[in-house]
Amino acid sequence: MGRSSVAYRTAGPGDFNRISEIFNLNILQFDSTLWQDPFSPEDIDQMCQQLHERERVFVLQKNEDIIGWGAIKRYHQKRGYQYACETSVFLDREFTGQGYGKPFKSFILDQCRILGYHHVNAKILAKNKASIAYNLKLGYDIVGVQKEIGMIQGEWVDVVIMQYIIRH
Ligand SMILES: CC(C)(COP(=O)(O)OP(=O)(O)OC[C@H]1O[C@@H](n2cnc3c(N)ncnc32)[C@H](O)[C@@H]1OP(=O)(O)O)[C@@H](O)C(=O)NCCC(=O)NCCS
């Protein structure tokens, strides 16, 4: 499948419907996030309005459609963590495994560099083998596993912590 018509850009109000749709599709699969309840477009609007000046929400656009979105969030508000952030990427399931996610995340990592971050963190459900493989391919390392830190549909879940160091 050709990806020449793919673009990455900052999310705007016209994207909030698709972002919530894509996020909710993923949330309701119960395999990629600890969020358990759907987000309305208004929730996404609020999330974007509340971003810190060093946080971003981006969309992945293919032709006229938004097929994914991703975010850069500060790791923590404590000033000592000012060089650490975390990222997330969610694609419409129809478009996973086709090479869209990796260049999108590379774009997001470039933006992390531009924002002055040094350490990029990712928290991934241990059962989400595709996402772990994807982050390893991008150059992330596994830090460790947090055992039974989450509960999804009545079951304990483990979370894999991964890290990526940006050399400036
Ligand atoms: C995780 C996600 C963003 C990855 O994006 P993607 O477009 O599916 O991944 P790509 O097709 O770009 O693949 C990137 C690399 O990961 C590897 N990979 C992808 N899925 C894989 C799988 N199921 N098993 C093993 N490797 C896999 C690919 O082989 C590829 O490696 P390569 O570049 O050497 O060929 C996407 O699948 C997604 O949105 N999934 C649902 C939501 C999710 O899990 N988000 C992450 C939350 S932490």
C-beta of 90 in contact with ligand 1 (< 6 A): yes
130 close to ligand 1 (CB < 6 Angstrom):
yes
pLDDT at residue 168 in the model:
85
CB 55 within 8 A of CB 10: no
Q: Give the model's pLDDT for residue 4.
A: 62
| CA 125 to centroid of ligand 1, rounded, Å | 14
Nearest CA to ligand 1 atom 22: 130
Cα 161 to averaged position of ligand 1 atoms, centre (Å): 17
Q: What Cα–Cα distance (Å) separates residue 135 from each residue in 7, 18, 35, 55, 139?
A: 21, 24, 20, 20, 6
pLDDT truncated to tens, each residue of the chain (168 aa)?
Answer: 555 699 999 999 999 999 999 999 999 999 999 999 999 999 999 999 999 999 999 999 999 999 999 999 999 999 999 999 999 999 999 999 999 999 999 999 999 999 999 999 999 999 999 999 999 999 999 999 999 999 999 999 999 999 999 998
pLDDT of residue 45: 98
CB 76 within 8 A of CB 21: no
**For the CA of 31, the nearest atom of ligand 1:** 44
> How far from the centroid of its chain's Cα atoms is residue 34's Cα?
13
| Whether domain 6-121 has CATH 3.40.50.740 | no
CA of 60 to the centre of ligand 1 (A): 15
Q: Where do the H-state alpha helices sit in the chain?
A: 16-27, 41-49, 101-114, 129-137
